[in-house]
Structure 1
Amino acid sequence: MASANNSGSTTAGSIAVREAGAPDELAGPGTGRMVSQPADARQVAVASYDVHDFGVPTGREEDWRFTPLDRLRGLHDGTFGTVGELSVEVEAPSGVVVETVGRDDARLGKAGAPVDRVAAQAYSSFEKATVVTFPRELAPGEPVVVRTRGAGTTGFGHLTVVVEAFAEAVLVLDHAGKASYADNVEYLVADGARLTVISVQDWDAGSVHLAHHVARLGRDATFKSVAVTLGGDVVRLFPRVVYDAPGGDAALYGLYFADSGQHLEHRLFVDHDVPRCRSLVTYKGALQGVDARTVWIGDVLIRAAAEGTDTYELNRNLLLTEGARADSVPNLEIETGEIAGAGHASATGRFDDEQLFYLQSRGIPADEARRLVVRGFFAEVLAQIGIPALQEQLMLRIEAELEASV
């Protein structure tokens, strides 16, 4: 095995995940944080739809060591109490099929089994699921919007998105209100299909959200995800990508802004296990205030069979004030030398004083200069959304956070 890194640090192995009696098609989170680790450190983790197949996290496990378990409202250990319902509304253009189904629907769970206890808890606990289907060759030209709203309750959810062959789809997931919520979202992207997902987490203060997103890509399928995380006390997102055939192309973008006391965690896994697929990961975050905390884990595994893989992952964090902490852990494991390219990079730093001085020396007030720097920092990710009104709405939301800190 060989490891590659252009960030000036060594990498650690990933945790392989195997379902009992199933092919080695799933993978879980990685191990280590910017440390050297031998290839045989990779372990086999559980993948199951049943919560009872998982032990209760203690915080000593690699995939839970950054997460504040005491703030999860019992979603991780079953002590969450009475379960209510969150409101889920779907706005869809003509031709898109939207259904509310029960747990016995055969389309649920096809993307892969959960790989941690909270995801399994969510899968074991939801009563109704939403299925959104884009029929073959459909290109509606307008996004489907799924609005999830909390009213102070604890809840579990499930969303399955089916994009049939050669269809082109845009999906917006909009989360708001107050809740303790865990859910699974699966994307089944068929041969030649294209799916763009914009997931916005803008919960009220006091909210906890733990979400698992799994994208399964067919031959020559294209998947783009843009995750924007702004609100909530604790938000932990776990996106995964798996490939069913050559030619798959995945681009994962993310933007997060942590204020005082917030814990925002993004833990990604891209499993290259078939030849000639591509992945690009770009996440950027800003932090301000005492005890503002972000965690970004980017795991990419290129298996021996995945010749011709092209992958790159990048994470950047901007510390706006003292007392904020950002953990960034890019992991890249390569089991074949026959690849097109692979690399990763990570950096965390404060405002560039020279930039601020340059702007202020030209008559721009300090608070406006800060906004301009942050707007430029996030512009690359926001541009990937492709919906101008939503892009501007999110930037105004970020600038409102900056205003509150001045």
Structure 2
Amino acid sequence: MSSTTTAPGQTEKGHIDPAAAFVPVQTRSERPASFDPADFGTPTGREVNWKHTPLDRIAPLLVADAVPDEDALVTLITGHEQLEVGQLAAGEAPRGEVFVPEDVVAAAVWQRDRRASLLRVPAGVELAEPVTVEVHGRPGTAFEHLVIEAQPNSRATIVLRHDGETHLGQNVEIIVREGAALTLVSVQRWGQHAVHLASHQARVERSAALTHVVVSLGGGVVRVNPSVELAGAGAEGRLFGLAFADAGQHLESQVYLHHEGPHTVGDVLYKAALQGASARTVWIGDVLIGPDAVGTDSYEANRNLVLTEGARADSIPNLEIETGDILGAGHASATGRFDDEQLFYLQARGIREDEARRLVVLGFLSEIAQKTGIPALEDELVEAIERELAEGAAA
């Protein structure tokens, strides 16, 4: 049996037996982790974390010796005047303080992006306006590791915006220090052939708060997997997601929320709408309440609205509780079509059926758009959803 490769200063988190790599790991907290892509091997589709992902469509990111194209990614940062912006080599703190790859793509990103980008919010600084990181893709293959650190008692909102056409493997390492509050919004508005596989890993320390929002509207295959550890007493993690899948799109999120410290609060809500043949969304939500997480209050939910025949939404909530001393914990999942009573109510007041459907969908998804806390972005997302609906109606 081979041991997990660790980065400098890291402790070993698990091990992988290559001969048995195809055996699904059923417990989320027991998944193997390694900095070496070879330890994972090439996914077969039988692994629990790959069984819902179209492997044939993400093949360029699974090539063991893939070389990134230098011009495949252009990044522009705005509103960062009060931030420390830099680069981190492998082993240079705080890179690797939190992030340990849990799949072959994340491990490949770790190895191939030798100079990770750093965005650091200084201690005690409160940013009045959001910082925007624009990531524009060009045809080719790209690997990107980004470290975001909110130092003690800081306040900031950071928006990652993705567009263009590329195959991107991405790691986002998030550290929210004691007393800090960070909102991170990741918006995917890729072209129709883009592939984006992202692993977000975060640690939230004592009395700190992270709001994490994933918005996926464009791209051929988009898989953004947030993993959040509520490590300190009183830490809060609020994870929200919005997806609108059209014909041929695959939009996926595997969410992991680990309550480790006492008196932590977790709130997970992901919503998706689907229209068109072969439109597909996948949501897997795992919550672990550890043995020391006394006084925890946690809830996760996923809601999906299927607008047309041929669309498919997979929704899998999981909850592990290792202590009996909690305030509350629960999970819920629902997938369905339009609520006939809502439509009848609107039509009875003189609203046309197509307009009534539009209002129902906007009302359903706008709740998540509001979680960004950025009015201009909220308006942009509502307009984008309206365009999606109009294009679907015209098809």
Q: TM-score, normalised by structure 2?
A: 0.91
- Quote how far apart the aligned CAs of 1:49 are: 1.6
- Quote how far apart the aligned CAs of 1:274 are: 2.2
The match for 1:69 among 19, 32, 55 is: 55
- Partners in 2 of 1:82 and 1:337 — Cα distance? 48
Q: Residue in 2 aligned with 1:256? A: 243
Kept in 2: contact 1:73–1:80 (CA 8 A): no
Deviations 1:221-268 (A, max 9, x none): 100011100100001111001133211100001000000011111001
- Quote how far apart the aligned CAs of 1:312 are: 0.3
- Partners in 1 of 2:362 and 2:28 — Cα distance? 40
- Partners in 1 of 2:89 and 2:26 — Cα distance? 42
Partner amino acid, structure 1, of 2:193? G
Partner amino acid, structure 2, of 1:57? P
Moved more, 110-119 or 352-361: 352-361
Deviations 1:78-110 (A, max 9, x none): 365663340011112432122244445332121
- Partners in 1 of 2:373 and 2:298 — Cα distance? 23
Confirm or deny that 1:208 pairs with 2:191: no
Q: TM-score, normalised by structure 1?
A: 0.88
Q: Residue in 2 aligned with 1:146? A: 133
- Quote how far apart the aligned CAs of 1:25 are: 10
Q: 1:371 to 1:43 in 2, by over 3 A?
A: closer
Q: 1:213 to 1:43 in 2, by over 3 A?
A: closer
Q: Residue in 1 aligned with 2:214? A: 227
Moved more, 355-364 or 178-187: 355-364
- Quote how far apart the aligned CAs of 1:199 are: 0.8
Q: 1:40 to 1:362 in 2, by over 3 A?
A: closer
- Partners in 2 of 1:19 and 1:128 — Cα distance? 20
Percent identity, aligned pairs only, is: 47
The match for 2:315 among 320, 328, 331 is: 328
- Partners in 2 of 1:25 and 1:52 — Cα distance? 15
Q: 1:386 to 1:397 in 2, by over 3 A?
A: same
- Quote how far apart the aligned CAs of 1:304 are: 1.5
Kept in 2: contact 1:143–1:170 (CA 8 A): yes
Q: 1:41 to 1:399 in 2, by over 3 A?
A: closer
Kept in 2: contact 1:46–1:53 (CA 8 A): no
Q: Residue in 1 aligned with 2:337? A: 350
Kindly tell me the number of residue pairs found equivalent between the two proteins.
377
Q: Residue in 1 aligned with 2:375? A: 388
Q: 1:42 to 1:373 in 2, by over 3 A?
A: closer
Q: 1:92 to 1:98 in 2, by over 3 A?
A: farther
Q: Residue in 2 aligned with 1:4? A: none
Q: 1:79 to 1:23 in 2, by over 3 A?
A: closer
Q: 1:197 to 1:42 in 2, by over 3 A?
A: closer
Q: Residue in 2 aligned with 1:56? A: 42
Over the aligned positions, Cα root-mean-square deviation in angstroms equals 2.1
Q: Residue in 2 aligned with 1:118? A: 105
Q: Which is bigger in relative contact order (C-alpha 8 A, separation at least 6)?
A: 1
Q: Secondary structure of 1:385's partner?
A: coil
- Partners in 2 of 1:221 and 1:346 — Cα distance? 28
Q: Residue in 2 aligned with 1:314? A: 301
Structure 1: which 5+ residue stretches go unaligned? 1-17, 27-38
Q: Secondary structure of 1:158's partner?
A: strand
Q: Secondary structure of 2:146's partner?
A: strand
- Partners in 2 of 1:202 and 1:82 — Cα distance? 22
Partner amino acid, structure 1, of 2:55? L
- Partners in 2 of 1:114 and 1:43 — Cα distance? 13
Q: 1:134 to 1:82 in 2, by over 3 A?
A: closer
Deviations 1:39-79 (A, max 9, x none): 99678432122212212110011111101101103312436
Q: Secondary structure of 1:199's partner?
A: strand
Kept in 2: contact 1:25–1:242 (CA 8 A): no
Q: Residue in 2 aligned with 1:304? A: 291
Structure 2: which 5+ residue stretches go unaligned? 16-24
